[in-house]
Structure 1
Amino acid sequence: MEREAAVPHVLIFPFPAQGHMNSMLKLAELLCPADMYITFLNSDHNHQRLLRFTDAEARFSHWPKFRFESITDGLPDDGHCSAESTFEMFNTLESITRPLFRDLVISLSHPQQEIPPLSCIIADGIIPFVIDVAEELNIPIISFRTISACSFWAYFCIPKLIAAGELPFQGDMDVPIKSVPGMEGFLRRRDLPSFCRAEELNDHVFQTVLSATQETTRASALILNSFEDLEGPILSEIRSRLPKLYAIGPLHAHSKTRLLEQSLLSSLSANSLWEVDRSCMKWLDSQPPKSVVYVSFGSLAVVGRETLLEFWYGLVRSGIPFLWVVRSDSVTGGNVNEEIPGELVEATTERGCLVGWAPQEEVLAHPAVGGFLTHSGWNSTLESIYTGVPMICWPYFADQQINSRFVSEVWRVGVDMKDTCDRGTVEKMVKEVMERREELMGSVDRLAKLARSCVSQGGSSRSNMDRLIKDIRSMARSSPKLHPKKK
């Protein structure tokens, strides 16, 4: 009985968005083979979509100590389709989800039918209330930020930016930023995370992100989906303030590598909240090697009809074959296919393929793909680096602005077209990346090799993951009984 009591029970709680949930499910895949109980807490909405569009339930059934739970995120079912709804979720999570989460943690903190009491919470660091609940209930908590180290560090340095008078700002977006240590030589106003563009410091979203990031210092440790050879200098800056840091990425490759080693990789299914259209893989099979530019702006970006057409004309005029993910809800105020000019329809029929959602990891690994026009989401950026595909970056919001700057100026594995989307720029940059592939491939191949190495035996991410597992086991052995603090 003593041995069983020392088996860890970890609650994993992602922010209710595709990219956050995906990377934290990858973490769960790494923890499950370590013989610990895992409760994965999804939002009701995302859990239903996950079960509908993936085989996640079947995949995780390989581990009898894993189970899904779900909880409301406070939004109506039809209110989850944009960045704006994501901002609204900050409010509903606090007002509606928080008390339900607290009740769940209390229930999990008592033994239940051979399941040991909760010993640790790994929660998305952008959910403001989780650390409060964990501290109140005396449960150890580890913060997981699903963004890049460079973006997290920029968020963390916001008080310094304010003190230096660099925030808020107006006017020239190319003014250099000096108060983010390690980035003084290349960071501009336009490269800061999009929340920093708020004209008033009391902006609600700005304050929420600022507060959540500063609260990270209250957690026992921080997990980042990154790797030492990619963001080593910035990871060192973060460790100066948060010494207990586990860089265990790229998580999509890390989990796949370990599952392959244990002969547990049973399918190619991703953790998608959208129905995947696999017809694009057959289309890619018919294209010459490295000839196609893959285009996807992720699960949240929404553009106006004019912006959509500018991208479309730019892609067509580049003359490059393209595979484009256009979600049904990605255009404001109308249907994606409504009144498309005939020349675009004809050109797309000749050398393009449009789908509602694609199996992105497989697409990027396909021999026909030679470039990636991306919103610079962190999962997409890591997947592109791992497969050695150069990027054309058009960041949409949040961390994506700073990711795109690192892609172009630090890692030199792509180009950055932030804040512009006219057809001429799109055409020029798609051509530039596809025609200059040989010039970019030195940096691209180097980072791809480092990414593969870090998740292999002896790699930094592998070692950091082993250290995380060891520390979670230690928490299980020393975890105190539940003693809620008096309010």
Structure 2
Amino acid sequence: MNETIPNDTSRSAPHVAVFSFPSSSHPMSLLMLVRRLTAAAPEVMFSFFDTAKSNGQTFKNIDKDLENLKVYDVDDGLPENYVLTGKWGEEIELFMAATPFNFKKSLEVAEVERGRKITCVLSDAFLWFSGEMAVEIGVPWLAVYFSGAFALTTHIYTDLIRSTIGVDPNAIAGREDETLEFIQGMSSVRIRDLQDGIIVGNLESAFNRMLHRMGQMLPRATAVVINTFEESNPTIIEDLNSKFQKCLSIAPFTSLTYPPPSDSDTTGCLSWLDKQKPSSVVYISFGTVGALPAHELEALAEGLEGSGTPFLWSLNDKLREQLPVSFLNRTREWGLIVPWAPQFPILQHRAVGVFMTHCGWNSILECILAGVPVIGRPIFAEQHLNGRFISDVWGTGIRIDGGVFTKGGVIKGLELILFNEEGKKMMEKVQAFKELAEKAIETDGSSTRNFKTLLQIVSTT
């Protein structure tokens, strides 16, 4: 595969292959990590591999060919003239069917084109086959997991969970509140909190088989990089350290390392917040992938109006059209709805007192960094796990009553966090977490030390 590489000193320089998973926030999160590595190791060459569609979105406002970073497209697995049906997971299934051959083909192109052998594979942990490819070419495999340590734990222990609890829906029925006492650090987690694909759902879908295989493969990685900081879950991190060759928790880094440009507030959110009282506003966002059902959108709107709480709501135009016109008219004096919002600067603003969220991991990290308590309404994936840790382990927020929005539940939640003594305690706890996160990225902090270890591995030829 490397016969045509020029015979010069560049052959011995580090060349890292970066494999991205083309879904949700994964590519951008991986790019943020790679940009930090490129800045710290300008002598290392990075080649970034993803589908053309995903690369187009990820690098929309970023130069694809930085000095030591070049972008390559891999086959997305869609047959020529194929028309997508809109079925959930369809593109992922086609993409996974094309792996690993699509990556191998593009890897050959990059190695020849750039004149350097691959010396390390840095991949999204979802792409478990990257480990086998790394073994084939005799280089380290670094797997990056972008959610929390407790979500990763469920994948590492999937086989144990299945053998202990079972996968028969009839056998599980009525046991949803049983806890995972048999896994270190997971005694507060209940069966109902587990992601689809662990013991319920279509265990044989391409996506769920991928995650199952990931959990089996990660102990073989040279290092597993986790988007968390050690102090957030020391018991779980201790257990993962016993499972992996190296367990490197390196968060928080994305929001602090690459803050949005000063002109990113195109919808006027920050200037609107400037006019509000300290800790009075609820910021609302449920991410870009999942969506609330119409009846919950209506209940949330009714609760916001009934509470009289100033609100800033990031909601796309299609969903905004589902809100009653009367609600929009009656709340325009103390509420602002925008199609997009610069989330981290908003959470950092003194006017924001609580974040109403789907409990996506990036959002949870930003809450911690900003020191803002949470009202959680998980929608899918590991969000239920995240919500459980927020409410029952960390005490930095609550989950909405019954798991769905009602007018009364919204009013009750806002009252509790913004005005009650219990809410003050949650604020104190999240502020304490913020201090731990800030210490983790200090010069001698745990995340800084772990990043240096990661940097050393990618810089070694």
TM-score range, shorter chain: 0.7 to 0.9
Shift of 1:167: 4.1
Contact 1:170 1:199 in 2 (8 A): no
Q: 1:424 to 1:43 in 2, by over 3 A?
A: farther
Q: 1:91 to 1:452 in 2, by over 3 A?
A: same
Q: What per-residue deviation string (whole Å, max 9, x for no partner) do you get for residues 303-357 of structure 1? A: 33222212222222222111111124xxxxxx42446324312233122111112
Aligned to 2:437: 451
SS in 1 for 2:244: coil
SS in 1 for 2:16: strand
- Whether 2:45 is the aligned partner of 1:37: answer yes
TM-score when scaled to structure 2? 0.88
Q: What per-residue deviation string (whole Å, max 9, x for no partner) do you get for residues 238-288 of structure 1? A: 1111131111101214534xxxxxxxx893588xxxxx7432222222211
Distance 1:81 1:431 in 2: 44
Aligned to 1:17: 23
Contact 1:149 1:224 in 2 (8 A): yes
- Whether 2:204 is the aligned partner of 1:207: answer no
Percent sequence identity over aligned pairs? 27
SS in 2 for 1:350: coil
Higher relative contact order (CA 8 A, sep 6+): 1
Shift of 1:51: 4.2
Contact 2:267 2:341 in 1 (8 A): yes
Aligned to 2:143: 143
Distance 2:410 2:85 in 1: 26
Match of residue 176, structure 2, among 169, 173, 177: 173
Distance 1:51 1:247 in 2: 26
Match of residue 191, structure 1, among 187, 190, 193: 193
Distance 1:278 1:75 in 2: 36
Aligned to 2:3: none
Shift of 1:159: 0.9
The one-letter amino acid of 2:425's match is E
Distance 1:404 1:134 in 2: 36
- Whether 2:88 is the aligned partner of 1:95: answer no
Shift of 1:140: 2.8
Shift of 1:11: 1.9
Distance 1:230 1:142 in 2: 22
- Aligned ranges for residues 23-172 of structure 1 at < 5 Å? 23-33=29-39, 34-35=41-42, 36-52=44-60, 55-57=61-63, 63-74=66-77, 85=88, 87-96=89-98, 98-110=100-112, 112-113=113-114, 115-168=115-168, 169-172=172-175
Shift of 1:8: 1.7
Distance 1:150 1:438 in 2: 26
Shift of 1:197: 5.8
What's the RMSD between the two structures over aligned residues? 2.8
Shift of 1:3: 6.2
> Which shifted more, 122-131 or 339-348?
339-348
TM-score when scaled to structure 1? 0.84
Shift of 1:294: 0.8
Q: 1:206 to 1:100 in 2, by over 3 A?
A: closer
Q: What per-residue deviation string (whole Å, max 9, x for no partner) do you get for residues 143-195 of structure 1? A: 111110111012211211111125452235322233322222x1212222243
Distance 1:415 1:234 in 2: 22
Contact 1:375 1:393 in 2 (8 A): yes
SS in 1 for 2:118: coil
Q: What per-residue deviation string (whole Å, max 9, x for no partner) do you get for residues 50-101 of structure 1? A: 444xx322xx77x51122223343469999999x64x334311222353221
Q: 1:388 to 1:266 in 2, by over 3 A?
A: closer
- Whether 2:418 is the aligned partner of 1:434: answer yes
Q: 1:401 to 1:346 in 2, by over 3 A?
A: same
The one-letter amino acid of 2:35's match is E
Distance 1:404 1:347 in 2: 32
SS in 1 for 2:279: coil
Q: 1:154 to 1:280 in 2, by over 3 A?
A: same
- Aligned ranges for residues 24-423 of structure 1 at < 5 Å? 24-33=30-39, 34-35=41-42, 36-52=44-60, 55-57=61-63, 63-74=66-77, 85=88, 87-96=89-98, 98-110=100-112, 112-113=113-114, 115-168=115-168, 169-184=172-187, 186-196=188-198, 198=200, 201-202=203-204, 205-253=207-255, 255-256=257-258, 267=261, 277-328=266-317, 335-338=318-321, 340-417=323-400, 419-423=403-407
Contact 2:145 2:225 in 1 (8 A): yes
The one-letter amino acid of 1:325's match is S
Distance 1:303 1:135 in 2: 43
Q: How many residues align?
A: 446
Contact 1:320 1:431 in 2 (8 A): no
Distance 1:353 1:134 in 2: 50
Q: What per-residue deviation string (whole Å, max 9, x for no partner) do you get for residues 4-42 of structure 1? A: 444321122222124212221221122012121122223
Contact 2:84 2:90 in 1 (8 A): no
> Which shifted more, 21-30 or 456-465?
21-30
SS in 2 for 1:48: helix
SS in 1 for 2:332: helix
Distance 1:158 1:243 in 2: 19
Shift of 1:204: 5.1
Distance 1:283 1:359 in 2: 13
Q: Any unmatched runs of 5+ in structure 2?
A: 1-6
SS in 1 for 2:248: strand
Aligned to 2:409: 425
Distance 2:263 2:360 in 1: 20
The one-letter amino acid of 2:331's match is T
Q: 1:80 to 1:337 in 2, by over 3 A?
A: farther
Contact 1:108 1:117 in 2 (8 A): no
Q: What per-residue deviation string (whole Å, max 9, x for no partner) do you get for residues 363-418 of structure 1? A: 11112111111111111110110110111111111111111111112211111237
